[in-house]
Amino acid sequence: MSARRLVPLDGPSRTVAGEAAPDLIHPVVGYRQWRLHGGELRSVYTRDLWKPGAMIARCHAKAAHPDPPPATGCACGFYARYTPVPRTASAGTADLVAGAVALSGRLELHARGMRGEQAIVVALALPLLPGPKRRRVRKIAGDLGVPAVPARRLAATALRHGMPIPPAMRPPDLTPNKRAAPGTPDPARLHAVGDRGAPPRR
């Protein structure tokens, strides 16, 4: 099990179990999908509404925990991948759309993604083909105050708002069957990002 390292927001960093990792002082860029619901952007599974500006995660689990999201052993927090969602992952659907977020606050890092305490949408990826879905994405992006860009430009646009998690900081992927459905990510590393306010909007 890899050690977890907490980088406090309000003091010097400290190392747990002797493992060191770089401090995170800027928002962290991640990628995810949402569902188009009418004229709104909602989480794929929880159907939470995503709004303009920075959002703060709240835990809705029945078993309360003292730590703010993302808490170890819980599924709370805003999920994001380290790499962009494949371009064709949303192409065959009428309601799935990919995009990028900037995470800040506490982070829990997993082998294939992360969970954050605070998140802001920074860009949406346009569908590959023109049509009603593309028009809906443009409209929602405008309501959120973010650009809607071709999928090939999503990563470059996202990097204007934060930094990626270096591969060396990501826990190893111990999944024996890479084609298996994703389960609870393990091990995890807990970090905190120095929040210097909401990332710039461009």
Q: For the chain, what are the domain ranges?
A: 28-174
- What DSSP string describes 145-189? T--EE-GGGHHHHHTTS-BPPPGGGSPP---S-TTSPP-S--S-E
Give one word for 18, left, alpha or beta, with left for phi > 0 and alpha for psi -120 to 50. left
pLDDT of the chain along its 202 residues, tens only? 333 333 333 333 333 333 334 456 789 999 999 999 989 999 998 889 999 999 999 888 877 888 888 888 888 899 999 999 998 888 888 999 999 999 999 899 998 899 999 999 999 999 988 999 999 999 999 999 999 999 999 999 999 999 999 988 888 887 655 555 444 444 455 554 443 343 333 4
CA angle 97, 101, 107 (to 5 degrees): 130
Stated pTM of the model: 0.77
